[in-house]
């Protein structure tokens, strides 16, 4: 399985949207550059990941030594292409030793993605490294039978969904959730809050903005969580994790209304 092809699609989409959304151009250009580095890692790691036993979960199947061995390369890349604040934080990380990175990785995998905000730049490095390796492993993951009910967390890596996706199916649309960590996608009912399980239609408002025809906010009045949802039936070229970054204005609006994002994206836009 060649996972790297997806990276090319993400990079191309980020460049395309950077030209269309000036307010998000800088962050999309950075995302494209980062995607180039992640693509290289995916290519480098693909043979080793293909030889590992069929993975049952990310934590069990991850090659932490291989992953953390790429920290210096990624730091060099971030110093070169990262926004000023991140590049400065990265310069300080040159002194962080391997044992510390291993502890950060373990914390991240156990904590389901939550982390203290003062560790944000290190968390970003770990997450950016994890995506290509986790995706290579997730592509070989087989959920198997016996899974009951819709899951609001990724069955492979236990992460909450970073975005939802709507696709046409028959006369309606089908919703899937998209894992921000391993980039896996799984089916989930349309009218259920993925945070608290609310099923009452009137408690699940949908907000759209004319500027972003293919993105919307799926809110929940019961728990005040929201999920950014990319409507691929309105734009067949949409790439969920990239279109999410391009539509940050919707997140700003949702936060002003008192909603809390179910899970932050890689760039914490
Ligand atoms: Zn996952
Ligand atoms: Zn809810």
H or E element at residue 170: none
Distance 21 CA to ligand 1 centre (A): 28
Distance 135 CA to ligand 1 centre (A): 8
Which pLDDT value is given to residue 172? 83
Distance 183 CA to ligand 2 centre (A): 23
pTM of the predicted model as reported, rounded to 2 decimal places: 0.92
pLDDT in tens, 9-23: 999 999 999 999 999
DSSP letters of 87-136?
HHHHHHHTT--HHHHHHHHHHHHHTTT---GGGHHHHHHHHHHHHHHHHH
pLDDT in tens, 89-107: 998 898 899 999 999 999 8
- Separation in Å, CA 256 to CA 201, 209, 224, 241, 253: 23, 15, 12, 22, 5
> In the chain, what is the straight-line distance between the N-terminal and C-terminal CA atoms, in Å?
31
Among the bound ligands, name the one nearest to the CA of residue 204. Answer: 2
Distance 2 CA to ligand 1 centre (A): 18
Distance 157 CA to ligand 1 centre (A): 4
Distance 95 CA to ligand 1 centre (A): 30
Q: Report phi then psi at 192, rounded to 5.
A: -145, 135
pLDDT in tens, 116-162: 556 789 999 999 999 999 999 998 887 766 565 678 999 999 999 99
């Amino acid at each position: 399985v060649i996972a790297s092809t997806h990276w090319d699609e993400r990079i191309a989409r980020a460049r395309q949207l950077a030209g269309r959304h000036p307010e998000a151009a800088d962050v999309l250009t950075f995302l494209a550059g980062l995607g180039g580095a992640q693509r290289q890692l995916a290519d480098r790691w693909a043979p080793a990941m293909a030889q590992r036993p069929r993975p049952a979960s990310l934590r069990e199947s991850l090659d932490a030594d291989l992953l953390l061995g790429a920290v210096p390369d990624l730091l060099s890349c971030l110093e070169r292409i990262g926004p000023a604040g991140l590049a400065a934080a990265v310069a300080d990380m040159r002194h962080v030793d391997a044992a510390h990175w291993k502890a950060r990785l373990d914390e991240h995998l156990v904590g389901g993605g939550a982390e203290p905000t003062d560790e944000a730049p290190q968390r970003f490095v770990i997450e950016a490294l994890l995506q290509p390796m986790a995706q290579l492993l997730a592509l070989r993951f087989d959920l198997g039978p016996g899974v009951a009910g819709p899951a609001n967390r990724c069955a492979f890596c236990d992460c909450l969904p970073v975005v939802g996706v709507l696709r046409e199916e028959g006369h309606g649309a089908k919703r899937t959730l998209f894992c921000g960590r391993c980039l896996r996608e799984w089916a989930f009912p349309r009218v259920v809050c993925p945070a608290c399980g609310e099923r009452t239609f009137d408690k699940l408002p949908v907000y759209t903005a004319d500027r972003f025809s293919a993105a919307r906010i799926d809110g929940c009045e019961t728990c005040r969580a929201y999920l950014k949802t990319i409507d691929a039936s309105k734009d067949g070229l949409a790439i969920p994790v990239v279109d999410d970054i391009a539509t940050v204005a919707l997140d700003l609006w949702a936060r002003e209304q008192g909603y809390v994002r179910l899970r932050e994206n890689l760039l914490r836009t």
